Amino acid sequence: MRKDAVKFGFLSPGLLYLMAMAVFPLVWSLTLSFYRWKAATAAPRTFVGFGNFLSIFFRDPRFWNSLRFTVLYVAIVVSIELSLGLLLAYILSERIRFRNFFRVLFLLPMAAPPIAVAFMWRMLLNPDAGIVVKILNALGFNMVRWLTDARFAPFVLMAVDIWEWTPFMFLGLLAAMQSLPVALYDAAQVDGASRGQAFWFITFPLLLPIMVTLILLRAIDAFKLFELVFGITGGGPGTSTESLSYYIYTVGFQYFDLGYACALSWVFLLIVLIMANFLLQRLRRGI
Amino acid sequence: MQRIAWLWFGTLVFLLGFSLTCAAAGTWESQPGEFKGQTITVLITDPHSAVVESWKPEWEALTGAKVEMVVVPYASLYDKMMTDFITGTGAYDLICWPSTWAGDVMGGEWVLPLDALMQEYGYPDWDDVVPAIKLIVSWGGKVYAFPYDGDCHMLYYRKDALENPEYRAKFKEKYGYEYNIPPKSWEEILHIAEFFTGWDWDNDGETEYGIAFIAQRKTQAMWSYLDIAMQYAAQPGVAPFFDPDTMEPQVNNPGWVEAMDVIQKLTKFAPPGLLSYGYSELRQAFVSGNSAIALDWGDIGILEQSPEKYGSKVKGLLGYGPLPGAMKTYDFKAKQWIEGYNQVNFLNFGGWVFSISKFSKNPVPAYKFATYFTSPERSLLDVCGVHGYTGANPWRFSHFKNVDKWVEGGWSKESVTKYLETIQTILSDPKAITDLRIPGAAEYYDYLDLYLAEVLSGTKAPKDACDAIYNEWVKITEAHGKEKQRALYRESLGLPAE
Amino acid sequence: MRQARKTDPFFVVAWVVLVLFSVWTVFPFFWGIVTSFKSPGEQYTTAFLPFAQFRPSTYAWQVVLGQAEGERTRQGLRNSVLISSLSSLLVLFLGSFAGYALTRFRFHGWKNKDIASWILSNRMFPPIAVAIPFFLVMRTLKLLDTLPAIVMAHTVYNLPLATWLMMDFFRELPEEVEEAALIDGCSPFQAFFRVAFPLSLPGIVAVYILCFIFSWNEFLFVVTLSYRKTMTMPVIIAGTLTVRGLDFWKVSALSLLAIAPPVVLAALTSRFLIRGLTLGAIKE
């Protein structure tokens, strides 16, 4: 009895706060998702049942396009960031000169506001005056093509994401490597294991669970990709860089088609939940 | 006797004072101390905030009121404003917004009709306002906004390129005719742009190109396209967006498709970075001298004048002209091409305006503040460059007459005369076509913009893109209610309701 | 001993990687600094050596910090600092409690895992969809354009992540220590505050810094819930993209101002970040 009071005493402040703040928005948006409500023109809302959801799945190529882009984006950036982060963390957990300097340096990009990052890169990548474009042009790459071609523009956006968020993976993995038991390595060295073997057979398996957590956290955030699109490409050329989040923003805050935007948001939530569940259940169990 | 005389005198003084007070209350001119202790809040974006910023101290000192400014990024202006409207919050009294949203803002009746206030307090010289701008601030016969900015696209060209006799001779040799200055038609522009692409015609050691325009997604590249589409799909005074009788979108008729084809061809004669040109990139690229022709609002003209602030390398080198026309146009009623020269002026974007929110608790101070800085003499300072770059372009007849003030703002007399003449011609054309002014305009335009982007990047053929836009427009019209949209479209064109 | 093997190819590769990655990381910052010291007329040039190639100008800084916009910038910085530190503090408080409850006690009906997943799912909803209902809530509470509104919103935004990270710290902490404290007559809350909390301090500091950074950088809630008094740096930066375009010099100066505080904070506390965020991965 007392124990119950204690445990709820610990849990309830946070949980109640979240519920209080989250319940109204969730109920509001779920209700609206069954209505057609073009709010900008002061038109009344009309009940359409599952109409919005049917439109999303069967008559909205833009939704599918943005979903495809977002999934591709998340898959690519998360895996590159993970590999780069792992490489850097591994190097910097060895005894190497200026280790602490590099450790600090490589953390910095993730601390910068994404909107500032987006504008800085927009400057660097400006087709006429951007320094990166000028340098790469001088080196013989046709950089302008990369920015204005629908097939390549997504990769430019991904590069910026990788710049900003590799530090997150690096941080998580470095922290984890710090706490690896030294005894195991000494034993491995005695057995004559090479550096590569030690990494693959000791470090990597031990790091797997944390990688899943990192992937999960990073994937959730990457899925919500908004600021970079907002600040750099505006979703173009064409719709080649329109993320799901940005599409919802367009429908909700440009068309003020609030019913449809809410329905899209719920579909978005379901997709992320499925993705998270897959990561948590399958991957964690597989380990 | 004396007492009676005093009484009479007193009454007279009282009456005089009273009538004076009444007269004071009935004027748009702000009176000293009349709004003591009141606060009005203005929702605005940069650079228009510069205008309010310059008049605020003066007006505050005069009336005793306080002006609070909420400066938001342009990209979030619409949602800030709409969120306030649909939730009925009423945080803003005065809102500065682009009239291209008229269908939503005026059509949704979110802002106060000004007629009653204008009746009561008067308006500083309404007849001085250019007719096109009067049209833009009205909806269904009522005035909903204060004019503040005269916006229309115009043609900019490099005089050192197009007027060079040697180049003209070479051009004639290659194409067999002499082009007009300023160029008169898109057919001509295609050749000129091709001719001036890929070589260093101003001898600065860099390669130059033919034409530049806004082409980036979500930066309203559709205005560049509409500049062309108007010439091929409309006649003066006949808006080409829908058939007003059936509300059938016209966007995939041969005229619009032809224009799509022209703009796709133009991308070949443009600087390599064209597809990432938003307003900023275009203006900066053009004033730094990388192309021969550009389409823009009055803004390039202002930026041209200040090398130190905006890096302009073309001061005094720019010529100005109206939009080019076309050698044929499609008549959607008769469903056939009309051969022969056609030129249509188009008021794209329509200019920024100020409105009083329906939920405002202080409409009178808001009215008087807006009339204060949009009065003829004061607004002149905002448009001519004396107050720096404000984003406002001339919109009163008197703005066009006062050339001296413009010279004070950094212009050369010759340039500004030509510049003003061009804008005035466009704005005073009674048959100029206005923007699409029905609810959902933002949505219609966004789909136009979307498929235009695919044409510009070469991933979609012009006809396919136009068909795709057509399908979206039909969907949007249905979602808003076809009959309702038709009635509003007719109303926006000034056609009878049947 | 390892240091002795100077010719180890691993170190050669390692150094190449480190140098390349340093250039990649530093270059945007470097270019921002250079651009912020250029006069507007020179903002688009490739010159990068001050004095040798261009004459450094403090024009951008004068605009951003001086008479014209200084007031707004300083207010933005002040708001950013206040909002980030307060909301992270609140997050820390609520998050460590919830995280502790979910690791030390067993809940029935709704199992621990369900509660934890539900908490995390709050971070998955797109902020755009929550923005308008939040606006309505804050309007009802008469909190629009006040610090509490944004602090509350950022707390919702960061609490799920914090709770998850906290769960991992407490899971790593051997329960025996607290049990000993309980036997000594401490109440469970005393045990938490005197034993568990101090022992997981490095982790808690790390969480605080992460939340601070996330809150500092958040954009959409601030844009929706603030008018004037509570603008934070990201919103002010977004305002530089006007119809006139992006003024490189101004964006650079403002961005540097917005980037500096969290970056310096991260640099100063990187030790805690690295030691603290073990995420409970490796047990024993």
Residue B71 and residue C239: Cβ atoms within 8 Å?
A: yes
Q: Which residues contact C126 (CB under 8 A, 6 or more apart)?
A: A224, A244, A245, A248, A265, A268, A269
C132-156 CB burial, b ≥16 within 10 A, e <16? bbbbbbbbeeebbbbbebbbbbbbb
Neighbours of chain C (3+ CB pairs under 8 A): A, B
Residue B47 and residue C224: Cβ atoms within 8 Å?
A: no
3-state per-residue secondary structure call for B377-428: HHHHHHHCCCCCCCCCCCCEHHHHHCHHHHHHCCCCHHHHHHHHHHHHHHHC
Confirm or reject contact between C188 and chain A (CB < 8 A).
yes
Structure tokens at A151: 């097939």
pLDDT at A2: 59
Structure confidence at residue C11 as a pLDDT band (50, 70, 90) = confident
Q: Tell me: pLDDT of C262 over 60.
A: yes
Confirm or reject contact between B45 and chain C (CB < 8 A).
yes
Model confidence pLDDT, tens digit, residues C15-47:
999 999 999 999 999 988 888 888 776 776 777
Between the two ends of chain B, the Cα-to-Cα distance in Å is 71
pLDDT at A286: 45
Q: How far apart are CA B236 and CA A39, in angstroms?
A: 34
Q: Which residues contact C117 (CB under 8 A, 6 or more apart)?
A: A276, A280
Q: How far apart are CA B495 and CA A173, in angstroms?
A: 69
Structure tokens at B414: 């010759």
Assess whether the previous peptide bond of B57 is cis (omega < 30° from 0).
Answer: no
Binding-site residues on chain A for chain B (CB distance < 8 A):
36, 38-43, 126-129, 133, 144-145, 147-150, 230, 233-239, 250, 253-257
pLDDT at A185: 77
pLDDT at B231: 95
Distance in Å, alpha carbon of A244 to nearest chain B alpha carbon: 16
Structure tokens at A95: 């005894």
Q: How far apart are CA A147 and CA A100, in angstroms?
A: 36
Helix (H) or strand (E) holding A36: strand A35-36
B235-255 CB burial, b ≥16 within 10 A, e <16? beebbbbbebeebbbbbbbbb
Length of chain C: 284
Residue B311 and residue C44: Cβ atoms within 8 Å?
A: yes
Could you tell me how many CB contacts below 8 A there are between chain B and chain C?
84
Confirm or reject contact between A45 and chain C (CB < 8 A).
no
Confirm or reject contact between B68 and chain C (CB < 8 A).
yes
Could you tell me how many CB contacts below 8 A there are between chain A and chain C?
276
Q: Measured between CB atoms, which of C161, C273, C281 is closest to A210? A: C281
Q: Which residues of chain B have pLDDT under 50?
A: 20-24
pLDDT at C26: 92
> Which position has the token pair 């939340």?
C211
Q: Which positions in chain B touch C227 (Cβ < 8 Å)?
A: 41, 70, 91
Residue C245 and residue B288: Cβ atoms within 8 Å?
A: no
pLDDT per residue, tens digit, chain A (287 aa), is 457 778 888 888 888 888 888 888 888 889 989 998 888 777 788 899 899 999 999 988 889 999 999 999 999 999 999 999 999 999 998 888 888 889 889 988 988 899 999 988 988 887 777 888 888 878 877 766 666 777 888 898 999 999 999 999 998 888 888 877 777 777 877 787 787 888 888 888 888 878 888 898 899 889 989 989 988 888 777 778 899 999 998 888 888 888 899 999 999 999 998 888 888 776 555 44
Q: How far apart are CA B308 and CA B313, in angstroms?
A: 10
Confirm or reject contact between C193 and chain A (CB < 8 A).
no
Structure tokens at C71: 């007031």
- State whether residue C103 is helix, strand or coil: helix
Say what the alpha-carbon torsion angle B456, A66, A125, B220 is, to the nearest 10 degrees: 50
Distance in Å, alpha carbon of A48 to nearest chain C alpha carbon: 19
Neighbours of chain B (3+ CB pairs under 8 A): A, C
Residue B73 and residue C43: Cβ atoms within 8 Å?
A: no
Radius of gyration for chain A, computed over Cα atoms and rounded to the nearest angstrom: 23
Q: Tell me: pLDDT of C258 over 80.
A: yes
- Region of residue B152 (phi > 0: left; psi between -120 and 50: alpha; otherwise: beta): beta
Q: Distances from the Cα of B296 to the Cαs of A233, B227, B349, C211, in angstroms?
A: 21, 10, 11, 44
Q: Which of C279, C283, C284 to mutate to test the interface with A (most CBs of A within 10 A)?
A: C279
3-state per-residue secondary structure call for chain B: CHHHHHHHHHHHHHHHHHHHHHHHHCCCCCCCCCCCCCEEEEEECCCCHHHHHHHHHHHHHHHCCEEEEEECCHHHHHHHHHHHHHCCCCCCCEEEEEHHHHHHHCCCCCECCCHHHHHHHCCCCHHHECHHHHHHCEECCEECCEECCCCCCEEEEEHHHHCCHHHHHHHHHHHCCCCCCCCCEHHHHHHHHHHCCCECCCCCCCCEEEEECCCCCCCCCHHHHHHHHHHHHCECCECCCECCCCCCECCCCHHHHHHHHHHHHHHHHCCCCHHHCCHHHHHHHHHCCCEEEEEECCHHHHHHCCHHHHCCCCCCCEEEECCCEEEEEEECCCCEEEEEEECCCEECCCCEEEEEECCCCCHHHHHHHHHHHHCHHHHHHHHCCCCCCCCCCCCEHHHHHCHHHHHHCCCCHHHHHHHHHHHHHHHCCCCCEECCCCCCHHHHHHHHHHHHHHHHCCCCCHHHHHHHHHHHHHHHHHHHCHHHHHHHHHHHHCCCCC
Q: Which positions in chain B touch C246 (Cβ < 8 Å)?
A: 280
Q: Which residues contact A204 (CB under 8 A, 6 or more apart)?
A: none
Return the ∠ at Cα C57 (arms to C52 and C59), rounded to 5°. 165
Return the ∠ at Cα A196 (arms to A195 and A201), rounded to 5°. 105
Q: Evaluate whether B49 touches B74 at the Cβ level (below 8 Å).
A: no
Task: Evaluate whether ipTM surpasses 0.95.
Answer: no
Other beta carbons within 10 Å of A26 = 18
| Torsion sign across C-alpha atoms B367, B372, B376, B381 | negative
> Which position has the token pair 């004068």?
C62
Confirm or reject contact between B316 and chain C (CB < 8 A).
no
Model confidence pLDDT, tens digit, residues C105-146:
888 877 888 888 888 888 888 777 788 888 888 888 888 889
Length of chain A: 287
Confirm or reject contact between A256 and chain C (CB < 8 A).
no
pLDDT at B13: 59
Q: Measured between CB atoms, which of B45, B76, B280 is closest to C223? A: B76
Distance in Å, alpha carbon of A105 to nearest chain C alpha carbon: 8
Please give the mean pLDDT across all residues of chain A.
85
Residue A120 and residue C284: Cβ atoms within 8 Å?
A: no
Q: How many helices (H) and strands (E) does chain C have?
A: 14, 2
Other beta carbons within 10 Å of C246 = 20
> Which position has the token pair 């390398």?
B313
DSSP bridge partners of B235: B238
Instruction: Return the closest-CA partner of residue B266 out of B455, B447, B448.
Output: B455
